[in-house]
Each structure stands twice: as structure tokens, then as C-alpha cells.
Amino acid sequence: MKHKFLSFLVSALAYFLLGKFGLLLAIPPGFASAVWPAAGVALFLVIYFNRPAALLGIALGSFLLNVSIVASTLDELHLVHLYPPLFIACGALLQALVGGFLFTRFVSEGALPDSHQGVLRFLFIVAPIGCLIAAAIGVNSLRIAGIISDENLWFSMVTWWAGDTIGVLLFTPLMLALTAKQETVSTARKLQVSIPILLIFSTVIALFFRSLAIQQFAISKDIEENASRFVTQVSERLANARRML
């Protein structure tokens, strides 16, 4: 019982904190992230911990995360505002459940994928197919709630899916390598897996914030140019009015 409760608690806390970090990488309009580490760690949790307890923890962490997002945008929180976070939490739970099944079925029984066949199956089956679930449920729940428009539906869904898939591809192998026993995975092998993943993730973060800074600069420049044109037009009209008077 104590082991199950610990699995539940660690899973909820891990998903919540990694979700907070993932929100820093959110792409406008801000409902999906370029990389979602919580998805990769969620898959690791259902592989490594007691599965039912981990799934409940993932659902709770996702629910609390999205409730905190909703609460930060509202003056008063009502019951109806809890429906989207609840559906998103169900999507995170189902995605972790299906991802764990796919990993066990096509890769291995909780071990780091080491064979070429296992790696390819992880790349092309487990990560991309498993990550369709949360994106489909989450984005459609936000659309039904009127938070996402029909114009942004497919963009948000693809971004959500891509962020979850990248998170699984990077963080599930990383966590499996770091937690593997020494007799199963040597220290040298752990470093071979961990260092490239951390470098790739660092590069993605750097490129994301660089791109975001460029985009914000371009938006600011457009606003300044539009404001300048508006001021010029107003000045010309005032000058014409004075001449007429």
C-alpha cells in the first residue's frame, strides 16, 4: 500500500512540475508546447512504477496543472470551468495507459530499448501513435468549451501531438537509462544515452526562445510602424483642417 501511494504521489508531483516547465515552451495561441516533457515522464512512470497508482497520479497532476491555468485567467472559478481540465486529465491518463501497452507490446518489458528493432518501434509506433490520444481529447475539449477556435483547431492539435511526441522520444529513454540497474545498463551506456538527449533538448530550448524573441521583436516593430503611420495621418488631417479653417 505504501509503495502504491508513493507511486501515486511521485507521479502527480512529477507531472505537475514538468507541466509547469513545459508551459514555458507554449506556442501561441498558448494551448500546446513545442516540447512537453511531462508526456515522456508519464510514459516512464507507468513503465517503472505501479501502473494503476501512476496513472491516477498522472491524471491528478494534469488536472491540477490545468485548473491552475484556468484559475489564473479568471476572477472566480466555477464548476463549469473544471470540465476542460478534467477531460485533459483523462486524455493524459489514457495516453499513458496506451503508451505503456504499446511499449510493452512492441519494445520491451520496462527496459531501455537497446536493439535496432526496439528503437525503430519506439520511434515510429510507441511515440507517434500513443501521443495522438491526449492531443485529440485535449484540443477538442478546449474547442467545445469555446477556448480554441475552429481556425486554430488543427494547428493546436498538431502542435500538441508534436510536443508530446518529442517529449516521449527524449525523456522516456532518458529516465529509463538513469533509473536502470548498473548490471543491466552500464554507466558508460547511461552517458551515451543521456548526454545526446540533454544536448538535443538544450538546443531545442535555445532555438525556441531565440525564435520567440525574433517573433516578439517583429511584432513590436510592426506595432511601432503602424502607430507611426497613424500619428502621421492624424497630423496631416489636423494640418488640413487648420488650413481649411
The whole-number pLDDT of residue 217 equals 73
State pTM to two decimals: 0.83
In the predicted model, is pLDDT for residue 33 greater than 90? no
In the predicted model, is pLDDT for residue 134 greater than 80? yes
Question: Which amino acid belongs to residue 134?
Answer: A
In the predicted model, is pLDDT for residue 92 greater than 80? yes
In the predicted model, is pLDDT for residue 209 greater than 80? no
Average pLDDT for 129-158? 90
The whole-number pLDDT of residue 204 equals 79
Query: 173 versus 209: which is more confidently predicted?
Result: 173
Per-residue pLDDT band for 9 (boundaries 50, 70, 90) equals: very high
In the predicted model, is pLDDT for residue 178 greater than 90? no
Per-residue pLDDT band for 28 (boundaries 50, 70, 90) equals: low
In the predicted model, is pLDDT for residue 44 greater than 90? yes
Average pLDDT for 124-152? 91
Task: Please state whether the peptide bond connecting residue 52 to the residue before it is cis, i.e. omega within 30 degrees of 0.
Answer: no
